[in-house]
Amino acid sequence: MIRFLALCLLLAAAVPAAAAPLAHRPDGVELRTAAATLRITALTNDMLRVRIARGARFDEDASWAVAAEIRARHVAVAPTADGFATATLRVRLAGGRLVVEDKAGKLISADAVDPVKLDGRAFTLRKQLPIRTHIFGLGDKTGGLDRRGKAFVDWNTDAFGFSSSDDPIYKSIPFFLAVGGEGGSYGLFLDNTRRTWFDFGHREEDVIALGGPDGPIDYYLIAGPSTAEVVRRYTDLTGKAPLTPLWALGYQQSRYSYMSAEEVRQIAARLRADRVPTDVLWMDIDYQDRNRPFTVNTTTYPDMKGLVADLGRQGFKAITITDLHVARLPNQGYAPYDSGAAINAFVHNPNGSVYVAPVWPGPSVFPDFTDAKVRTWWGGLFRRQVEDGIAGAWNDMNEPAIFETPTKTMPLDIAHRIASDDFAPRTASHAEIHNVYGMENTRATYEGLRRLAPNERAFVMTRASYAGGQRYAVTWTGDNSATWDHLKLSVQQLINLGLSGFSYSGADVSGFAGGPSPDLLTRWFEIGAFYPVFRDHSAVNTPRVEPWVDGPEHLAIRRRFVEERYRLMPYLYALADENARVGDPILRPVFYDHPAALQMGCDQSFAFTLGRDLLIAPPPRPESPAKYDICLPPGGWYDYWTGLPESDAAAKTISATPALDRLPVFVRAGTILPRQPLVQSTAETPKGPLTLDIYPGPDCRGMLYLDDGHSMDFEKGAYLRQTIRCSVTQAGLQIDFDRRQGSFHPWWREISVTIHGRSASGQVTGGGRDIPSRYDSQTHLLRFDLADQPEGHVTVR
């Protein structure tokens, strides 16, 4: 029987009001009826947890996404007649509907009519969707940048060659952000691993509806008011990505597959000969013996350890794929199967037999990653790879993908053993575990690598995941296509992944399926150079897409953008540090730091920022040669390539004509942008000074971060972190170097400073002495050099 629960009305219908009052708790409120119990808890002043029990008993208080110590947090609240207040929020149950406002009474979020609907174990929640609200998040789902007007399903799916509107695809991240409302941005995370669904005004234009077929009714409401505050608090809740190795920010070359060690060596030699800076070479499944995980084809790869060592001497890291399906080869000397079977490590059919299904190695079995002892066993299988010097692990096919079945995955009644974290030990169906299976696979890999090399940063890439999976792995958007449409889609997917906690993400540059035209591949290199994870990858039996394939003219453009990424490495690494500490994405929507952009009129569906300070503006119709408008938010912007001012404090719309060798990039006025001399890999120490480009403007600052790039020593203080600021004083432009944090010594011995937008030369002083400077009246650039500057200030009159 379907029951609509507008909770206050249900109270009146079910029991006398006096018998079921609103019960105040030190950290929130509770409302009980015969049919359901609602509990609202203030975890922090800006974050609420809402749980609804079917009857009086709540579902188990356990989570794969939110750690027990986070769920146990709470703050004291001030009770009110119809709810409670925190230091920043007013929470009311008005007419049976949950209403959340800021302290000024501005609406943040409110239930719609009929806010909760139960149908057996299935449930639907309904929230108001104001007319000016935009919706973002849900990970790398297709359908454009803004989720408003669309509906989605969370069910991790092997989606080879997905279209720009296919859903579901690889990940299930049931978190969305509502942006542009009266009370600012807010986020909602539905912590339910089942096949949940979201409707953002698709069926009813003014209603957000979400629900699932079973599982806990347990969600978190995260207030801003800024989008950045919501994302930071979401990563406080579900965890932040660990600091990446520096080399993972470099260019990465891959293909399905490089068929032999000799071919890998040829690719490495060509990259160095063509002077394309590169840090990583990837090996897909054909390096293995008959596609069996944790094996090597010793005919085509006769000395993996020697290959990795040779690559290392040339400045390359090697990453190999390890899918989660284990070949079913009992008593045939295949240790992953035999050792796993010995500890009952694999998932089972309902009748108790081990589940066997076809994947790349043929008949395969599947580890029970929701069992902690199985994760420990799995992590230990990487010992040989670590000993061989393999730098990271690539976990693919972990939706989990199954061949020869229309569902592309396991039957829903497959039995998984839960023995992990604060869950009560029990058996669970695949219907419950499916969406977290890939995340727990990467957790097992990540934790195994950390145990095997405890002072090295573990690098894992995954295709499938769930909310919180950023704690264990970077990700990519899966088997995309070599089309202009998918080039644009990739940026939209990466923006929404970043807003959903996955700051380290990428898309296969070139497109995995099909084959790109020379112009498409070149444009993809240009835009990919600003992805958090920059990897060129393509499918078997498709045209080659290495940087040189279309001749010297295209190679020169592609190389120039790769080189620019390496010059920007100090800026990128500072963003990585910021992400690890604070949670801000590396690649962001323009409105993340510049909210006025939402009110500007031009098409911004392909624009994005790298951090706060660089705005990248490709043509929104990427295949078209037609002119297009670029919106520059208020505050002032400089052209990155020329260094000249492009706009002043007011918002401005400019026109651009697409050109294959140019990608419009702008720098925020108020930026201090660190750059370095060009290197061929991050293993190479830059030769020359650190460069600081100063673009005067409001809130003028920049950040330096440096460590050894690979170890965990930064946790012991072996890092350098320094903020640099600039301000206009009566004496002139003052540049302040804050006191350095950490004990790490930088590679540079000199800093070269360039001030943009100067109308005349000026006297430069610092440390009580004049500093020689050079002024270019054509470019309006003032340049001077400093000895390495631990702290203090410099004044430009």
Confirm whether 440 is a catalytic residue: no
Are the beta carbons of 397 and 158 closer than 8 angstroms? yes
What is the C-alpha separation between 556 and 564, in angstroms, rounded?
12
Are the beta carbons of 140 and 126 closer than 8 angstroms? no
Are the beta carbons of 360 and 397 closer than 8 angstroms? yes
Burial 612-634 (b: 16+ CB within 10 A, else e): bbbbbbbbbebeeeeebebbbbb
Nearest of 694, 772, 685, 754 to residue 728 by alpha carbon: 694
Radius of gyration of the chain (CA): 27
Confirm whether 396 is a catalytic residue: yes
DSSP code at position 725: E
Strands 2-4 and 107-119: antiparallel
Cβ neighbour number for residue 714 with a 10 Å cutoff: 22
What is the C-alpha separation between 242 and 231, in angstroms, rounded?
16
Identify the H or E element spanning 561: helix 552-567
Q: Token digits for 702?
A: 């920049």
Are the beta carbons of 591 and 185 closer than 8 angstroms? no
Are the beta carbons of 349 and 355 closer than 8 angstroms? yes
What is the C-alpha separation between 30 and 37, in angstroms, rounded?
7
Block residue for tokens 């999976």: 469
Starting at the edge strand that comes first in sequence, how are the strands of the sheet with 720-729 ordered?
769-771, 764-766, 792-796, 732-737, 720-729, 700-706, 671-675, 690-695, 750-755, 781-787, 773-776
Nearest of 518, 537, 570, 543 to residue 751 by alpha carbon: 570
Long-range contacts of 77-86 (CB under 8 A, 24+ apart): 77/26, 77/27, 77/28, 77/42, 79/24, 79/29, 82/22, 83/22, 83/29, 83/40, 84/24, 84/28, 84/29, 84/40, 84/42, 86/42, 86/44, 86/45, 86/46
CA distances from 682 to 27, 284, 692 (A): 49, 23, 19
Contacts of residue 266, defined as CB under 8 A and 6 or more positions apart, other chains included, come to none
Helix (H, G, I), strand (E, B) or coil at 443: helix
Q: Token digits for 177?
A: 């952000």
Confirm whether 60 is a catalytic residue: no
Nearest of 721, 718, 706, 580 to residue 242 by alpha carbon: 580
Identify the H or E element spanning 581: helix 569-582
Angle between helices 552-567 and 518-528 (to 10 degrees): 10
What is the C-alpha separation between 52 and 765, in angstroms, rounded?
65
Long-range contacts of 426-432 (CB under 8 A, 24+ apart): 428/370, 430/347, 431/194, 431/195, 431/213, 431/214, 432/193, 432/194, 432/214, 432/215
What is the C-alpha separation between 559 and 549, in angstroms, rounded?
12
Q: Token digits for 217?
A: 């009714």
Catalytic pick from 167, 323, 479, 578?
479
Tally of CA atoms within 13 A in the half-sphere of 625 that contains its CB: 4
Catalytic pick from 286, 371, 396, 593?
396
Catalytic pick from 154, 236, 371, 399?
399
Nearest of 568, 570, 547 to residue 559 by alpha carbon: 547
Angle between helices 484-499 and 518-528 (to 10 degrees): 20
Nearest of 682, 667, 662 to residue 635 by alpha carbon: 667
Chain-centre distance for alpha carbon 613:
18
Active centre residues (catalytic)? 396, 399, 479
